[in-house]
Structure 1
């Protein structure tokens, strides 16, 4: 599939999932009452939640800047912020967030940053990003099973599936990093199996490309071994970054005039949704995120559940996508213009 066809497919898929989500959410609901409730929300708390979304995005830029400087690459903090906005925008609109990093590498290449360095940095960002969810999921599985059952009920299996998929993803990435020989054997065998059953056409170039791509995992392992403190700091920044986003629901809760539940409880409940849907092949977990929200937060918001869900998801996902889209346009103008000027010179 060419890049153009893939972009069209992703766009159509995004619109389709969005349309189905809107239909399922608003089916049989009083739109006038929902809008009225949303309009009465406290704007100050809503602004705090939007700030949390921006801080969440900028958290990744801090990591990119820190790691780039550690590796000796000259990069501006402002451009690192733009890379993050680009990454989150394309992650929001592509299934399983697969489009973010390729586009980040594209803009980093425009800034003449070495591809091996950018690939290494983004790989570590991905591993720690997933690892934080795995840690949260396992801790909740071990220590909060009874607590979660009270909110999820019969939907606990979705949480278990989310934890399992994230554990599998992180484990596979760790195998790629620390056991490249085993990883290469598994991937070559898997590719030959797909070719044997004619899911893929046999191509020698594909195998060569696969072998070349393994070099980046060697580099990641070497960096990990020699910079354990850096990895720890990145993990801690990522943890804070994710928690900041999870607090959005609490600020929405306060904006609607509630105060019975504390920030810790609502942040944990929101993290459960993220753990559950992160690995599902849907843009931003669209559809399933809304459904889980309606189940988990039913006891919290009561009759204002739907307006609360619209505000929470609207800010944490749709506002994130909109802000990132605007900043992606800025990145295209700023970074692209810089390259054009250099070419003219």
Structure 2
């Protein structure tokens, strides 16, 4: 599938899922009452929630800037911010957030960032991003399973599925990093098996591309071994970054004039939704996120459940997507390939 067709498919898929989600969530509800409750919300708390969205995105920018400078790459903090906005926008509109990093690499290449450096940085960002979610999910499963069961009920299996998929993903990535020889052997054997059973057509170029991509993990392993303190710092920044985003639902809770449920409980519940849906093949976990939100937060928000969901998802997902979309447009104008520009100027002359 060509890049243009893939983009069109992702956008159509996003719109279809969005329309179906809106239909099933708000079917039979009084939209006027919901919108009135939204209008009555305290805008100061909502503004705080919006600030959390921006801080969440800039948290990744800080990590990229920190690691780029550690690796000796000359990069501006403003451009790192644009890389993050681009990544989050395309992650929001593609299933399993698969489109974010390829587009970040595209803009980094335009910015003349060395490809081995950008690949290494983004790989570590991905591993720590997933690892933080795994840590939160495992701790919650061990020490708060009773608490979660009280809110999730019959949907506990979705939480365990999401946690299991994240654990598998992190384990696979760490295997690629720390046992690259074994990982390369397994991936090559797996590819040959798929070709043998005719699931994939045999292509030498595909095998070569796979082997080259696997070799990138050697550099990650070497960096990890020699920069443990930096990896720890990145992990801690990522932990704070993710927790900031999870607090948005609490600020929505306060904006609606509610205060009986504590900050920690609401933030934990929201983090469990992220653990559950992060690896599912839906853009932004759309559909299942709303379903889990309704199930988990009904005892918390009561009659204000749907207005709260509209505000919470509006800020944390749709707001994030809109802000990132605007900044992605800015990136197209700010980050330019000077080589292409020079060629065009010479051809005009």
Alignment of 1:105-184 (within 5 A): 105-184=105-184
Alignment of 1:29-178 (within 5 A): 29-178=29-178
Alignment of 1:1-345 (within 5 A): 1-336=1-336, 341-343=341-343, 344=345
Whole-Å separation in 1 of the counterparts to 2:278 and 2:102: 19
| Structure 1 position 339, deviation (Å) | 5.7
Q: Is the contact made by 1:111 and 1:339 (CA closer than 8 Å) also made in structure 2?
A: no
Q: Which runs of 5+ in 2 are unaligned?
A: none
Q: Is the contact made by 1:105 and 1:119 (CA closer than 8 Å) also made in structure 2?
A: yes
| Structure 1 position 336, deviation (Å) | 2.2
Whole-Å separation in 1 of the counterparts to 2:342 and 2:282: 39
| Structure 1 position 179, deviation (Å) | 0.7
TM-score scaled by structure 2?
0.97
C-alpha offsets along residues 118-157 of structure 1, whole Å, 9 cap, x if unaligned? 0000000000000000000000010000110110011111
Q: Which runs of 5+ in 1 are unaligned?
A: none
Q: Residue 335 of structure 2 aligns to a residue in which SS?
A: helix
Whole-Å separation in 2 of the counterparts to 1:337 and 1:184: 34
| Structure 1 position 213, deviation (Å) | 1.0
Structure 1 288/110 Cα, relative in aligned 2: closer, same or farther at 3 Å?
same
C-alpha offsets along residues 236-292 of structure 1, whole Å, 9 cap, x if unaligned? 000000000000000000000001111111100000000000000000000000000
| Structure 1 position 340, deviation (Å) | 5.5
Q: Residue 336 of structure 1 aligns to a residue in which SS?
A: coil
TM-score scaled by structure 1?
0.98
| Structure 1 position 7, deviation (Å) | 1.0
Whole-Å separation in 1 of the counterparts to 2:336 and 2:284: 27
Q: Is the contact made by 1:10 and 1:94 (CA closer than 8 Å) also made in structure 2?
A: yes
| Structure 1 position 60, deviation (Å) | 0.1
Flag as ranges the 4+ runs of structure 1 deviating above 2 A.
Answer: 336-345
C-alpha offsets along residues 132-188 of structure 1, whole Å, 9 cap, x if unaligned? 000000000100001101100111111111110000000000011111111111111
Greater shift in the superposed pair: 178-187 or 278-287 = 178-187
C-alpha offsets along residues 268-326 of structure 1, whole Å, 9 cap, x if unaligned? 00000000000000000000000000000000000010000010001000000000000
| Structure 1 position 220, deviation (Å) | 0.2
Q: Is the contact made by 2:88 and 2:321 (CA closer than 8 Å) also made in structure 1?
A: yes
Aligned residues: 345
Whole-Å separation in 1 of the counterparts to 2:281 and 2:317: 16
Whole-Å separation in 1 of the counterparts to 2:329 and 2:337: 12
Whole-Å separation in 2 of the counterparts to 1:208 and 1:166: 28
Whole-Å separation in 1 of the counterparts to 2:339 and 2:134: 40
